[in-house]
Amino acid sequence: MAEALSPILPPQLEALTHEVLRAASNRELKLATAESCTGGLIASLLTDVPGRSHVFERAFVTYSNAAKQQLLGIRGETLRDHGPVSEEAVRQMAMGALANSGADIVLAVTGWCEAGPDPGQQAGLVWFAVAARGRPLQVRMERFGNIGRAGVRLACLQVGLDMLHAAVLAH
């Protein structure tokens, strides 16, 4: 059982969290996250299960563009030309987190929980990437729609854990 998040977590997400951590532990893999719109929620969940958090290596919570550049090495041109919520940005987030950690597998996520003043800020548009040492980068885009900040973050947990689980099993 996840200690802090269990009361608010749908049962299928709690079960998937346990399975990801069990599989990573059995394979002696270290996990990390690079999160923007989820604000560290995925990292919090992966460290919330007693006896399994040893597989979690680190988290990069890079909400601002400056943090994305400083901590993950995202190029300023990428942010300027494609924006922080783009395939290009999430690819660089995942690869930057892999390069700047001791993790074997990294999940990166960036998106818009709510619509903003910029027409490109579509509520619920989220990009995911999984980088694993010695494996091809996996990228996925989801349009969750205008389901609110909490709704988008919970939907990100499902997609992110699904992608992380597949990467762990493939490793």
Cα 122 from Cα 48, distance rounded (Å): 31
Domain total in the chain: 1
- Residue 71 located in a structural domain: yes
**Model pLDDT, residue 3:** 60
Is 44 a member of any domain? yes
CA distances from 61 to 16, 32, 39, 171 (A): 22, 11, 6, 25
**Per-residue pLDDT, 91:** 98
Q: Please choose, from the candidates 117, 110, 116, the residue with its C-alpha nearest in 3D space to the C-alpha of residue 152.
A: 110
Give me the pLDDT at residue 117, please.
Answer: 67
Domain hosting 106: range is 15-146+160-170
Structure confidence at residue 69 (pLDDT): 97
Find tokens 């390069």 and name the residue.
Answer: 99
Q: Which of 127, 157, 58 shows the shortest CA–CA distance to 99?
A: 58
In 3D space, the residue among 135, 103, 140 whose CA is nearest the CA of residue 125 turns out to be: 140
pLDDT given at position 115: 76
Q: What is the pTM of this model?
A: 0.94
Residue 8 lies in a domain: no
Residues (pLDDT < 70) of the chain are: 1-6, 117
User: For position 76, which CATH number holds?
Assistant: 3.90.950.20
Domain annotation covers residue 7: no
pLDDT at position 5? 66
What's residue 165's pLDDT? 98
What pLDDT is recorded for position 8?
Answer: 75
In a domain, 6, yes or no: no
Asked whether residue 112 is assigned to any structural domain, the reply reads: yes
